[in-house]
Amino acid sequence: SSTPPPPIPFSVPSAEKVDGFPRRSMRRARQRRSHSSSQFRYQSSQVELTPLPLLKDAPVAELHDLFCKKLQQCCVLFDFLDCVADLKGKEIKRAALNELVESVATSRGVLIEPLYPEAIKMISVNIFRTLPPSENPEFDPEEDEPTLEASWPHLQLVYEFFLRFLESPDFQPSMAKRYVDQKFVLQLLELFDSEDPREREYLKTILHRVYGKLLGLRAYIRKQINNIFLRFIYETEHFNGVAELLEILGSIINGFALPLKAEHKQFLVRVLIPLHTAKSLSIFHAQLAYCVVQFMEKDATVTEYIIRGLLKYWPKTCTQKEVMFLGEIEEILDVIEPSQFIRVQEPLFKQIAACISSPHFQVAERALYFWNNEYILSLIEENCQVILPLVFATLYRVSKEHWNQTIVSLIYNVLKTFMEMNSKLFDDLTASYKVEKQKNLKGCNKNQNISVILTLFFSFLSLVSNHSLSLFSLPSISHFSSLYNRYNLCSTSERSINVLPSSHWMHH
């Protein structure tokens, strides 16, 4: 039998030898500005491109035929991971794409019916592909550099052509809908998971144009966006294009007809509100808050669903998310109807009071800034009888205990504002708060006294056990009380069980 080959020695990088768990900053340094290509469909025997005549020089009779040939030429794909491979072919395709973009943007009568299938085919061949897996499994969009698409020099021009195609005065939706169908839209939506922000920006604009021009696809687009979000919330927790899709939805919601359909309200309650639970909320929170406010401005009756939903998903441990939630609540209160405010004021201000008492000063500060908003202040003043009792005890206590002087100053300003709003109620609450505090103090002292008595009693039992004394030799209750009174007369420093020496117990 043959001898097995010796194992290949495994060399550990010096950085890994020092630290088996390399820091994220080191990983980021190694991965910064990486490029990848998702194009795995390069022709095995690459077609050699030859330059075609310029469109601007072509006779009118030959223009459409030449346009079609250039579209077919642009269906050839190139490997951009190899920077020096087929440079001539890449340049010919780039020049052809530039010509097509310019022709669609500036010329009239170019987009005739036979060109529609050729144009959509060229777009599909270039943009639809399997996206590569992330090079960094712990990719953080806020800190890490994205992986850029290597074929972007061509891909950008294809997207630009598609956009000009949709925006052209010659564009006929009745012709386009035969080729831009549900399958096409679904593939387009899948591309929103691209790590390259440049691609997502183009996709956002293009999908918006498709939604605006191809009316028959609107319901399908909304349904598929709904499905993407549900998968993101409940399954994958990862999708790069959430912010861009929400931005499109902001415009879509703005165009909803009144009264709102049941499906739209369900989308708000079942998708938009639960999106607030995402770990990556900070990446798309601005767009999400805009969508929520758009719903409120469309139909005030959804206000209660929104606020109670936010309170349900309020962050318990992440202060950064708490600050974001408070910011969104302020945006909502900026446009809330007074009648709707009354319905949510109690649970809302209980939560605001909890935020004011947060030891994290940014959370407390953000909550106290509500009193700097004139419209919110007017709502508070109208409902002072309800709101002041909800927050008074917290404000009073935190003003005495908070470690941050800025917070203390802000609370004094809020208390002063409340005092000016309703001085009688303020005085009544101050008096009742002090009475309640005295009761609590007495309760604490009573509990402390019981604790001391129990300490003395169990110490006595220990002595009984150690000295084999009879339990029938226990002192009387009155005597035990006199011992406790003696304890109370001692100074704090003397208050220990040693104040009553074991010889005293032995005497009894």
pLDDT in tens, 23-63: 444 444 444 445 665 554 555 346 788 889 898 888 888 89
In angstroms and rounded to an integer, the radius of gyration of the C-alpha atoms of the chain is: 36
pLDDT in tens, 351-399: 999 999 999 999 999 999 999 999 999 999 999 999 999 999 999 999 9
| Phi, then psi, of 77 in degrees rounded to 5 | -105, 150
pLDDT in tens, 72-122: 999 999 988 887 788 899 999 999 999 999 999 998 889 999 999 999 999
pLDDT in tens, 446-459: 556 566 666 666 66
Q: Work out the average pLDDT over 127-132.
A: 92
| 340 vs 450, more confident | 340
Q: Mind giving me the DSSP string for 202-271?
A: HHHHHHHHHHHH-GGGHHHHHHHHHHHHHHIIIII---TTHHHHHHHHHHHHHT--SSPPHHHHHHIIII
Strand partners, 148: 35
Residue 474: per-residue pLDDT = 53
Indicate whether 210 pLDDT > 70. yes
pTM of the model: 0.79
Distance CA 26, CA 31 (A): 9
Residue 159: per-residue pLDDT = 98
pLDDT in tens, 237-261: 899 999 999 999 999 999 999 999 9
Contact 349, 387 (CB under 8 A): yes
Name, in order, each residue with C-beta under 8 angstroms of 167's C-beta and a sequence gap of 6 or more.
209
| Domain coordinates in residue numbering, the chain | 49-130+149-179, 191-276+285-299, 314-421, 429-458
Q: Work out the average pLDDT over 287-302.
A: 96
Query: Pick from 428, 354, 325: which is nearest to 384 by CA?
Result: 428
Residue 135: per-residue pLDDT = 67
| 195 vs 462, more confident | 195
Distance CA 155, CA 178 (A): 24
